[in-house]
Amino acid sequence: MRITCTVNGEKRNAEGVWEGESLLYVLRERLGLYGSKNACEQGECGSCSVYLDGALVCACLVLGGQAHGRSITTVEGVDAAKVQDAFVEAGAVQCGFCTPGLIVATHDLLRRVPHPTDAEIREALAGNVCRCTGYGKIIEAVHMAAR
């Protein structure tokens, strides 16, 4: 099957897609966008978070065919330099595996709630698992990005 969609503002085609392939697989293996990480393949860790028509989704849970004709924004296409800088400055980045999903989820939170409370941050990032930093520095980074 052939998928045509808009990825990070650019019309893209993926050829030879099997009907059971995840959007994450299509992004990484067919379109060469390696920012979204493949960790759990069950929607539990958030490492593969992307926007699909403006909604935050786990790309591992979306079939590639469902993206046909739609708009996808990955971590490579999110305007999140301020968020990325805050994560680095706060020391919220260690191994980096969870970072792309956290960046996209933080971007989503800050576009909806410009100055979130700790509780709002915890709720918004609840679907993202980090095994290295603990979450104190991540919460600090979100507050820094909100300033």
Chain centroid, CA 23 distance in Å:
12
- Tens of pLDDT, residues 40-92: 999 999 999 999 999 999 999 999 999 999 999 999 999 999 999 999 999 99
Query: 64 and 21 in contact (C-beta within 8 Å)?
Result: yes
| CA count, 13 A, side-chain hemisphere, 108 | 26
CB atoms within 10 A of CB 9: 9
pLDDT of residue 33: 98
The residues, ordered by sequence, that sit 6+ positions from 144 with a Cβ below 8 Å of its Cβ are: 86, 89, 90
Q: Read off the tokens for 59.
A: 């790309």
Please give the pLDDT value at position 133.
80
Q: What is the mean pLDDT of residues 118-123?
A: 98
For 35-49, what is each residue's pLDDT tens digit?
999 999 999 999 999
